Amino acid sequence: MSAWVFWLIISSIMLIAELMTGILFCLCLSLAALITVAVTWILPPFGQGIVFAILSTIFLIIWARWRQQQTALEKPVISEIQHHLIDHVLILSRALEPTAQVRVGDSFWLARTEDGLSLAEGTKVKVIAIEGTVLVVRAID
C-alpha cells in the first residue's frame, strides 16, 4: 500500500469519527493526516509521522483555545423551575454562615450571599442568581 493511501485512509477514518462525535477533535487529526498526504512523496515514513504529530499538535492547540473561549462565553443553563426562583423572597430559618440550607416551598436549597457575608436567622432575602444548585441571595429591607 502506498503511503499516501495510508494517510488518506487515516484522514477518512478520523472524518467519519468526527461526524459521529461532532466536537471537532477528530477533525483536527483528519486535517493533519490529509496535509501529511502532500509530503508522502518527499519524506520517508518516519518523517511523515513527525509531520503528522506536529500538525496534529498545532491543530489541537488551536482547537483547545477556541473551545476554551467558547466555554467561557456560554451562559449556564437554568431550568424553567430554577428560573422562577430568581427574585423569589425568602425569610431565613437558619443563619447563613456563609452558607446554609433554606426551604423553598417543599424543597431545600443551599444558599449563600453574593458577597460571602453571614446573615442572621429571620433576615429577609431575595434570590438574585442560581449557581448550579446554590441560590445566591441578597438581604433586603
Give the mean pLDDT of the chain: 88
Question: Are 35 and 86 members of one domain?
Answer: no
| pLDDT for 117 beyond 80 | yes
| CA pair distance 77, 132, nearest whole angstrom | 9
**Do 42 and 79 meet the contact criterion of CB atoms below 8 Å apart?**
no
Instruction: Output the pLDDT for position 116.
Output: 82
What total number of domains does the chain contain? 2
**Cα 108 from chain centroid (whole Å):** 27
pTM: 0.56
| Helix (H) or strand (E) run with residue 98 in it | none
End of a domain among 23, 45, 73? 73
Question: Are 35 and 87 members of one domain?
Answer: no
| pLDDT for 120 beyond 90 | no
Domain CATH number, residue 106 = 2.40.50.140
End of a domain among 45, 73, 101? 73
Domain span including residue 104: 80-139
Question: Are 8 and 64 members of one domain?
Answer: yes
**Comparing C-alpha atoms, which of 141, 139, 138, 135 is closest to residue 100?**
135
Question: Are 51 and 16 members of one domain?
Answer: yes
Question: Are 68 and 85 members of one domain?
Answer: no
